[in-house]
Amino acid sequence: DIQMTQSPSSLSASVGDRVTITCQASHDIGNHLNWYQQKPGKAPKVLIYDASNFEAGVPSRFSGSGSGTDFTFTISSLQPEDFGIYYCQQYDNLRFSFGQGTKLELK
Amino acid sequence: EVQLVESGGGLVQPGKSLRLSCAASGFTFDDHAIHWVRQAPGKGPEWVSGISWNSGRITYVDSVMGRFTISRDNAKNTVYLQMKSLRADDTAMYYCAKDRAAGGDGWYVDHWGRGTLVIVSS
């Protein structure tokens, strides 16, 4: 299985801050990397697919980059509704694996 | 509207079996791969198994290989997860998840069910 290492595990930031989360794959996965946001009591919602593509309706303050083994997810200007847990997810031959998650709290 | 409705969860003793079902509607079922993803309380999602649109590709996480079997019936728009030799660490909410793609590598989950809770305990 491909292992995904996500960091940090938690972070606290203020409205307007720039926030960055990283995800590292144990093997080269090309651009097969997606990012999700999960709110309490809800299922995860995809924000970015294939490392850098926006899912429809996702605000432009969210972005992703990277390829191979190292990936970055950025929120350019944090908004109050952005609290939650963020996960990266890789896909390879119909096998998925998720990162451990980053809990984003608002100061 | 896409709907995925899981059923079959419950309390089961270690070593016993359980079969989960996922009834799908609101999309062309046999155009999409389907996954089971579980989430233990307070933990992140863990992908469990995937099945391509025509059952030609079936995959499992290593920890359930040989114990769980995924299948689908495209005539009934339903996916199943047969779970045997259940262990305490299988305890979780189990979600049925629709892949954006038909199969191949898979892609990403664009719709989730509400989940069915499996508790493995004596």
Report pLDDT digits (tens) over A20-63.
999 999 999 999 999 999 999 899 999 999 999 999 999 999 99
Q: Cβ of A93 and B59 within 8 Å?
A: yes
Q: Cβ of B59 and A43 within 8 Å?
A: no
Nearest-by-Cβ selection for A1 from B44, B45, B61: B61
Report pLDDT digits (tens) over A72-91.
999 999 999 999 999 999 99
Q: Does the pLDDT value for residue B104 go beyond 80?
A: no
Could you tell me the pLDDT band of residue B105, with boundaries at 50, 70 and 90? confident
- What gap in Å lies between CA B113 and CA B105, rounded to an integer? 22
Residue at token pair 């892949």: B99
Give A86's strand partners.
Answer: A37, A102
Task: Give the pLDDT score at A75.
Answer: 97
Report pLDDT digits (tens) over B19-59.
999 999 999 999 999 999 999 999 999 999 999 999 999 99
Which residues numbered 88-117 in B keep a CB inside 8 Å of some CB on A? 95, 100, 103-110, 112-115
Give B74's strand partners.
Answer: none
Report pLDDT digits (tens) over A56-71.
999 999 999 999 999 9
Tell whether A94 is within 8 A of chain B (Cβ): yes
Residues B96/B6, Cβ–Cβ less than 8 Å: yes
HEC string for chain A: CCCEEEECCEEEECCCCCEEEEEEECCCCCCCEEEEEECCCCCCEEEEECCCEECCCCCCCEEEEEECCEEEEEECCCCHHHCEEEEEEEEECCEEEECCCEEEEEC
Q: Cβ of B61 and A91 within 8 Å?
A: no
Task: Give the pLDDT score at A6.
Answer: 98
- In three-state secondary structure terms, A80 is helix
Q: Hey, what amino acid is at A71? A: F
Q: Nearest chain B Cα to A87, which residue? A: B44
Report pLDDT digits (tens) over B1-28.
999 999 999 999 999 999 999 999 999 9
- What gap in Å lies between CA B63 and CA A106, rounded to an integer? 36
Two tokens, residue A81: 């509704």
Q: What is the pairing mode between strands B10-12 and B18-25?
A: unpaired
